[in-house]
Amino acid sequence: MVQPQTPSQRPRPGAMTVAMQAVPMKHAGPKVLRVGLFRDKKIVEERIVRRRETVSVGTAAKNHLIIKSGTLPAKLETRFELFQLVGGDYILNFTKEMSGKVALPGGVQKLEHLRETGAARNAGTHFQIKLADSSRGNIRMGDFTVFFEFVSAPPITPKPQLPAAVQRGLIKNIDWTFTTWVIFSYMLFFGFIIYMENADWEVDRGVQEVPEALARLVFEAPIEPPTVEEEPEEGVG
């Protein structure tokens, strides 16, 4: 028979949530590369390369990181594969003109030390060193500096969208009767305006239509009769 739990034995509200938050979450899949390009201590570009692929620098626009001409040797300045993906691993490529530090499983090493001791493979035009998912570091190329590290890929933020109900009913919810009357009213209104502008109305000319004989009778002043001067009578004395 199961004994009922006493209040002291019952789990405290929220205890399970706290316990779950205390357990570290494991991220599935390999880590991705995060790189940042700085120039004179000012950030130029920062990005997370979500897909594990070769990351290049150079003067061409197709590179992940674009730098000015003269930073790399002439043969490599158009495109230089700084982080080369070989199989499932990243290889750091660097030239003898580059400097900086990189954290490897054996500790933090300077690029000059890796090159001089032979720990880095000599590939002719550049040197190579294998990186681990825990590696991080910086590579200086002239007045440019590339910082890098491996991080767990952050979730992709979905683009904001209208609710499904709004998307589905945007046209369905239109009041077509009201919309039809509005469209008809606008067409009638603008049609009346066009008709008024193009109508050739007959103009009442007024006095211009009065016959000429009647106009003279009405508007011309009558001729005054001649005046007769009276002559003085003779023999009156």
Determine how β-strand 55-58 pairs with β-strand 89-94. unpaired
Structure tokens at 166: 């709004």
pLDDT at 21 over 80: no
Instruction: Sort residue 173 into left (φ over 0), alpha (ψ -120 to 50) or beta.
Output: alpha
pLDDT at 20 over 50: no
User: What is residue 25's predicted lDDT score, i.e. its pLDDT?
Assistant: 47
Bridge partners of 230, per DSSP, are: none
User: Which residues, 6 or more positions from 44, have their beta carbon under 8 angstroms from its beta carbon?
Assistant: 37, 38, 144
The whole-angstrom separation of Cα 73 and Cα 142 is: 11
User: What is residue 126's predicted lDDT score, i.e. its pLDDT?
Assistant: 93
The per-residue pLDDT for range 30-47, each reduced to its tens digit, is 789 999 999 988 999 999
pLDDT at 27 over 50: no
User: Which residues, 6 or more positions from 75, have their beta carbon under 8 angstroms from its beta carbon?
Assistant: 125
Strands across the sheet with 42-49, in order?
A: 42-49, 32-39, 144-151, 136-141, 99-104, 107-110
What's the whole-number average pLDDT of the chain? 79
The per-residue pLDDT for range 94-134, each reduced to its tens digit, is 999 999 999 999 899 999 999 999 999 999 999 999 999 99
- Give the C-alpha distances (Å, rounded to integers) separating 42 from 50, 58, 70, 166, 194: 24, 19, 19, 45, 64
Its pTM stands at 0.56
- How many beta carbons lie within 10 A of that of residue 169, not counting itself? 11
Give the phi and the psi of residue 169 in degrees, each rounded to 5: -110, 15
